[in-house]
Amino acid sequence: MHTANLTFAQQLPKGSPLVVAEQDIAAAFPGAPDQATVVVQSADLGSPALATALAGFRREALATGQMRDPITVAAHPAQHIELISVPLAGSGNDSTSDHALAALRGPVLAHTLDTVPGTRTAVTGDTAESADFNSQMSGSLLPVFAFVMGFAFLLMLLSFRSVVIAATALALNLLSVAASYGALTLVFQHGVGASLVGTAGVGAIETWVPLFLFVILFGLSMDYHVFVVSRMKEAHDRGLDTRAAVAHGIASTAGTVTSAAVIMVAVFAVFGTLDLQSMKQMGIGLAVAVLIDATLIRAVLLPSVMTLLGERNWYLPRWLRWLPESSHGEPGQGGSGQGGSGHSGSGHGVPEQLAAPAARPGPNTPAAV
């Protein structure tokens, strides 16, 4: 997945009057929309060393083949600053522009302006902003992923007293997120089926969208998961075996989960009808993920995995058996009261609706008054 701050032309549909005007400006003033600005700070802007470095900077920039004319310089003597505008190759946020920016920040400045004593340089502009913001967001992904997943694992472990249930929840929730990322990459980056949602592939995903989707989808998926697995745990604590408890949990929650999913998919799909590309990406990503999560993952993968695991679902290591019991049913119908994995004893804690039916009165049995 390639992420970037989408340009103005990428954010709006092709043919939009605003996009056409922007393209006309770009044709009349080449390099203007995707230029970089080099900020040069020096105590003596008129020094011969700085003038020589500026001339060398121009030669080095053009020699790379990734920067082009017109390279302009605007001096601000009162602030001891010069602004150098450098048009970059590429669209402004593609790999060509990123390579040009890296060359500008790297060897071009290092061999010219940065060699002048007392001179400081920095590069800004749309391409630099996109690259820096993308780098910042990418660097935040791992800490956010680790915190959310670690916290979710602990909550699931405390709630269900099972390492396997907690690990399964994380794995299945990550599948929902991966499905969303895959749909975004396929449609908006590569353009496969983009016309079906009224857009075209723009070659990149808005920088903030992946992290936003992960946080929202993980919360929604965990909500579904806790709701469904609570019914399974509830039935298991009442005395049902794992296969029957899984079937009971799916059957008793199917209507609620399906209704909630339909509502959320409909709401998120509304965002997918907007013209703004970032909103469209957010809406389609959320709608696809919720649809897959409520159908394939919660209705197919979850019961399949739990049925295959059997009694191993309720495994809790001996050194964690100090964790408090949590009831998942009505008062008096909760856990089995046993330590360890929470298995119920034979017939203990089984409610009336799951217990054996009462014997019918015989012919000699006196009728109750």
Q: What is the DSSP string of 257-316?
A: HHHHHHHHHHHHHHHHTSSSHHHHHHHHHHHHHHHHIIIIIIIIIHHHHHHHHGGGGG--
Whether 89 maps to a domain, the answer reads yes
DSSP tag of 74:
E
Pairing of the two strands 3-4 and 205-206: parallel
- Predicted confidence at residue 352, as pLDDT, reads 43
CB atoms within 10 A of CB 252: 14
Are 97 and 167 members of one domain?
Answer: no
Are 198 and 316 members of one domain?
Answer: yes
Are 180 and 99 members of one domain?
Answer: no
Q: In the structure, how many helices (H) and strands (E) does the chain have?
A: 11, 6
- The rounded average pLDDT for each run of 10 residues, N- to C-terminus, in the chain (369 residues) is 74 72 69 75 86 91 88 88 88 81 91 89 88 85 90 88 89 90 89 78 83 88 86 87 90 89 92 86 91 88 90 82 64 44 39 43 44
Are 111 and 168 members of one domain?
Answer: no
- Predicted confidence at residue 81, as pLDDT, reads 92
Interacting residues of 131 by C-beta distance below 8 A, sequence separation 6+: 98, 101
Are 117 and 170 members of one domain?
Answer: no
Are 9 and 51 members of one domain?
Answer: yes
3-state secondary structure of 360: coil
Are 174 and 312 members of one domain?
Answer: yes
The pair phi, psi for residue 71, each rounded to 5°, is -95, 115
Give the separation between CA 254 and CA 242, rounded to whole angstroms: 18
Whether 217 maps to a domain, the answer reads yes
Give the separation between CA 320 and CA 161, rounded to whole angstroms: 8
Whether 153 maps to a domain, the answer reads no
DSSP tag of 5:
-
Question: CB of 33 within 8 A of CB of 126?
Answer: yes
Whether 213 maps to a domain, the answer reads yes
Host domain of residue 66: 3-129
Domain of residue 88, CATH code: 3.30.70.600
Long-range contacts of 320-329 (CB under 8 A, 24+ apart): 320/157, 320/161, 320/163, 323/157, 323/158, 323/161, 324/158, 325/161, 326/158, 326/159, 326/160, 326/161, 328/160, 328/230, 328/231, 328/233, 328/234, 328/237, 329/234, 329/237, 329/238
Question: CB of 1 within 8 A of CB of 181?
Answer: yes
Whether 367 maps to a domain, the answer reads no
The pair phi, psi for residue 41, each rounded to 5°, is -115, 125
Whether 354 maps to a domain, the answer reads no
Give the separation between CA 160 and CA 164, rounded to whole angstroms: 10
Are 313 and 169 members of one domain?
Answer: yes
Are 175 and 61 members of one domain?
Answer: no
Whether 100 maps to a domain, the answer reads yes
Write out the two tokens for 285: 């990503």
Give the separation between CA 10 and CA 300, rounded to whole angstroms: 38
Write out the two tokens for 165: 């249930």
- Predicted confidence at residue 158, as pLDDT, reads 85
Query: How many domains in the chain?
Result: 2
**Which of 107, 129, 151 finishes a domain?**
129
Going by C-alpha positions, the residue among 366, 24, 38, 11 that lies closest to residue 206 is 11
Partners of 74 in beta bridges? 83
**Model's pTM, two decimal places?**
0.71
Domain of residue 207, CATH code: 1.20.1640.10
Conformation bin of residue 118: beta by default, left when phi > 0, alpha when psi is -120 to 50: left
Give the separation between CA 101 and CA 293, rounded to whole angstroms: 40
Are 236 and 113 members of one domain?
Answer: no
Are 212 and 113 members of one domain?
Answer: no
Whether 355 maps to a domain, the answer reads no
Are 171 and 115 members of one domain?
Answer: no
